[in-house]
């Protein structure tokens, strides 16, 4: 209530502030008591269970029936740095550049083992560059955006889903081990420090090491984002960058945020669902599934605005015999004269 979130400050208030002393009933709790409450007693499963126990009590009192749900949501800003963003399009751009560097390294590796007859001496085989699906589309968008930048036009989004499986990093690690083995057999020592002359084996080894670290880093970025998100914050990896309603800068700035969904009946919040999805389309089904799982009551009616209208959601409600009262996205457009003239 007072905006105090520091455990040390709360402990101090319990010893000095008369209001906190009254709330603590004269006791002087230490830091461990608060951390135990936060970690063990105020966890999400326990809070959800307590919430639905309270909803069950309200149902017994006849205040709610839990068969009707009015759904709406809002976006709340995350407690994260606004400028620690990672964008899928940016990662795609750097990944394509990295793949070009790796392609050059693979060519140099094959030329090295052939020119020095390492394939005959040590049985080394020619290595082929691994392929990541979707890079051609990303490269096409990059070239198009360069032309658009020259013409001062708006850039295209570059959010193609690229997947880096274990083939890429494993191949690079195997080549690094082969280069180390060859350097030992040939008696070539790797020099350290700046200004030292480096052999071709060392240059290749360092090139693959540098590119391998970047490849693993980009793979981690894609794993954090998953298939449903195009961005995340480094200081809060679960938060997605969204366009907020309170745009005080008036420039459409994206901020790390969460999509909070509420289910209401008879002015009482019956369900809460927190999502990192930027739109409301993908939040309807999880909220309804959570409601029926926790309350063990079959829903009969759902009311929501046009932000929840999609073929997937309407089909889900039809299959589960739930009456949908959802405004169609083209409802306002259908009332215009232009719409009827176009028909």
Q: Which 3-state string (H, E, C) describes the chain?
A: CCCCCCHHHHHHHHHHCHHHHHHCCCCCCCHHHHHHHHHHHCCHHHHHHHHHHHHHHHHHCCCCCCCEEEEEEEEEECCCCCCCEEEHHHHHHHHHHHHHHHHHHHHHHHHHHHHCCHHHHCCCCCCCCCCCCCHHHHHHHHHHHHHHHHCCCCCCCCCCCCCCCCHHHHHHHHHHHHHHHHHHHHCCCCCCCCCCCCCHHHHHHHHHHHHHHHHHHHHHHHHHHCCCCCEEECCCCCCEEEECCCCCCCCCCEEEEEEEEEEEECCEEEEEEEECCCCCHHHHHHHHHHHHHHHCCCCCEEEECHHHCCHHHHHHHHHCCCEEEECCCCHHHHCCHHHHHHC
Q: Report the distance separating Cα 244 and Cα 66, nearest Å.
A: 31
* 199 φψ region: left (φ > 0), alpha (ψ -120 to 50), beta (else): beta
Cα separation, 325 vs 301, whole angstroms? 7
What pLDDT was estimated at residue 133?
A: 84
The stretches in the chain having pLDDT less than 50 are none
Q: Decide if 87 contacts 234 (C-beta within 8 A).
A: no
Q: Residue 244: its pLDDT value, please? A: 86
How far CA 15 is from CA of 2, 6, 11, 21, in Å, comes to 16, 15, 7, 7
In this prediction, residue 248 carries a pLDDT of 67
Give the pLDDT score at 310: 92
pLDDT at 326: 93
Say how far residue 269 (Cα) sits from the centre of its chain: 27
**322 class by beta-carbon count within 10 Å (0-12 exposed, 13-18 middle, 19+ buried):** middle
b/e code 289-304 from CB counts within 10 Å (16+ = b)? ebbeebbeeebeebbb
Q: What is the pLDDT of residue 343?
A: 65
Q: What confidence tens digit (pLDDT) does each residue in 40-93 have? A: 888 888 889 999 999 999 999 999 999 999 999 999 999 899 899 999 999 999
Residue 210 confidence (pLDDT): 94
What is residue 249's predicted lDDT score, i.e. its pLDDT?
Answer: 66
């Amino acid at each position: 209530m007072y905006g105090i979130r520091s455990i040390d400050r709360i402990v101090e208030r319990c010893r000095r502030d008369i209001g906190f002393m009254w709330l603590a009933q004269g006791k002087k709790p230490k830091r461990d008591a608060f951390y135990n409450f936060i970690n063990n007693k105020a966890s999400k499963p326990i809070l959800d269970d307590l919430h639905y126990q309270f909803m069950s009590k309200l149902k017994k009192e006849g205040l709610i029936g839990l068969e009707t749900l009015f759904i709406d949501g809002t976006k709340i800003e995350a407690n994260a740095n606004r400028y620690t963003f990672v964008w899928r399009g940016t990662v795609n751009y750097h990944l394509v550049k990295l793949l070009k560097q790796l392609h050059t390294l693979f060519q140099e590796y094959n030329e090295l083992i052939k020119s020095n007859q390492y394939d005959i001496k040590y049985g080394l085989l020619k290595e082929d560059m691994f392929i990541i699906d979707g890079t051609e589309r990303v490269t096409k968008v990059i070239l198009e955006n360069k032309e658009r930048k020259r013409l001062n036009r708006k850039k295209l989004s570059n959010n193609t889903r690229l997947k880096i499986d274990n083939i890429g990093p494993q191949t690079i690690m195997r080549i690094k081990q082969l280069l180390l083995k060859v350097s030992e057999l040939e008696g070539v020592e790797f020099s350290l420090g700046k200004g030292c002359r480096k052999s071709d084996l060392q240059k290749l080894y360092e090139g693959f090491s540098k590119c391998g670290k970047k490849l693993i880093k980009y793979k981690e970025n894609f794993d954090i984002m998953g298939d449903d998100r195009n961005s995340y914050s480094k200081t809060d990896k679960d938060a997605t960058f969204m366009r907020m309603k309170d745009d005080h800068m008036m420039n459409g700035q994206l901020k790390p945020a969460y999509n909070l969904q509420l289910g209401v009946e008879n002015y009482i919040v019956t369900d809460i669902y927190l999502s990192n999805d930027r739109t409301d389309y993908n939040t309807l089904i999880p909220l309804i599934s959570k409601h029926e799982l926790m309350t063990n009551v079959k829903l009969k009616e759902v009311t929501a605005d046009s932000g929840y209208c999609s073929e997937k959601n309407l089909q889900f409600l039809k299959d589960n015999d739930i009456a949908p009262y959802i405004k169609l996205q083209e409802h306002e457009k259908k009332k215009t004269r232009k719409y009827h003239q176009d028909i």
